[in-house]
Amino acid sequence: MTFTSTLQDWFNQNQRKLPFRLDKDPYRVWISEIMAQQTQIDTMIPYYERWMIQWPNIESLSEASENDLLKAWEGLGYYTRVRNIHKAAHQLSQNNYSFPKTIDEIRALPGIGSYTAAAIASICFELKSVAIDGNINRVVSRLFEFEDEFGSASLLNKVTEKMETWMSSATPSIFTQAMMELGALICTPKNPSCEQCPLKHDCLAFKHQSTLDFPKKKITKKKPELHKLILLMTHKNQLALTQHHQDTLMKGYWRFPEVKELPNEALYIGSHHHVFTHLIWDLDFYSLETEKSSDFQWFSAEEIEALPLITAHRVFFEKTKTRIFSSEV
């Protein structure tokens, strides 16, 4: 049995039943692939299912408001992704909402890179395009004990060469998903299940018991930590929110005002440590009963529930909203 047939047989017998595998609808695969970027599958599935109920096709997506899309995406992070999805839907509306069938046309859509384009082309249209992401790089690095640093061009070239060789004799839709599934279920970063791996007899890292030595990791810089003072200003039963801020994170999302200096009357109500991919926020929250200011927009707790609010502030708000609107703060 060949490498590809062994892997494909394993996938056919062991694949997870995931909602975006119900068919080969490129719209469903596209949304799932974008949602799954930097997000665990178990985390994104509820988002995906809610999305498909609300916007089951490209036409309904193109007609959606950006505010509704941002709200639906709240908590998934990397919010440029959802804006690009919306831009792509508008672009596809010019083509009768028909999803393109060639890799170059797919790649031309906003927010779709080489990996996503190859994944859609192979899964939906059986094109022999190789989809290579971090999971695939890890699997192939271990199979051949590649010494190249993770994320390097030299590693990508080697992995691409191997993947193209395998793909030449594979069923594209099955092979692409099988490699994804192997990286997600078996050849995981920290606790790989090597004994259950269908490719263990072809794997140099398994043979040499060196699995955790690959791929070769690049030195990562320590994430910068930013301390922020967040002011929850209340007027009767309303809170002040703003969309104006100095950083470029999460454009279009609401947040509580950030201040450099606290008013004397402000009361400390808690803190929140929020980790992004590239930095850390240490947030101290204070409350202040005040008069309304036209510098902000004011909302009730119920109205805030319906707004897209940045996750770092949403988490704290959900834990403390009862106290925020009480006299016991």
One digit per residue, the tens of pLDDT, for the chain of length 329 reads 689 999 999 999 999 999 999 899 999 999 999 999 988 999 999 999 999 999 999 999 999 999 999 999 999 988 899 999 999 999 999 999 999 999 999 999 999 999 999 999 999 999 999 999 999 999 999 999 999 999 999 999 999 999 999 999 999 999 999 999 999 999 999 999 999 999 999 999 999 999 999 999 887 788 999 999 999 999 999 999 999 877 777 888 999 999 999 999 999 999 999 998 889 999 999 999 999 999 999 999 999 999 999 999 999 999 988 877 764 44
* Angle formed by the axes of helices 153-167 and 134-144, nearest 10°: 80
> What is the rounded distance in angstroms from the CA atom of residue 325 to the CA atom of residue 329?
8
3-state secondary structure of 74: coil
pLDDT at 38: 85
pLDDT of residue 1: 67
Alpha-carbon distance of 39 to 62, in angstroms, equals: 24
Q: Where are the domains of the chain?
A: 3-213, 225-324
| Residue at 17: amino acid letter | K
Q: Distance (Å, rounded) from C-alpha 248 to C-alpha 225?
A: 16
* Beta-carbon contacts of residue 56 (< 8 Å; ≥ 6 apart): none
The CA distance from 117 to 191, in Å, is: 30
**CA angle 74–86–248, rounded 5-degree value:** 55
- The catalytic residue positions are 33
What pTM value is reported for the model?
Answer: 0.80
Of 62, 30, 77, 68, which Cα lies nearest the Cα of 50?
68
pLDDT of residue 329: 44
Asked if the domains at 3-213 and 225-324 fall in one CATH topology, the answer is: no
Contact call for residues 85 and 60 (beta carbons, < 8 A): no
Contact 131, 176 (CB under 8 A): yes
| CATH number given to 225-324 | 3.90.79.10
**Superfamily for domain range 3-213:** Hypothetical protein; domain 2 (1.10.340.30)
Instruction: Determine contact, residues 119/176, Cβ cutoff 8 Å.
Output: yes
Residue 121: alpha-carbon gap to chain centroid: 20
- How far, in Å, CA of 101 to CA of 121, rounded? 7
Residue 326, CB-side half-sphere exposure with 13 Å CA sphere: 7
- Tokens (6 digits) for 170: 């594979």
The predicted pLDDT at position 202 comes to: 95
pLDDT at 328: 43
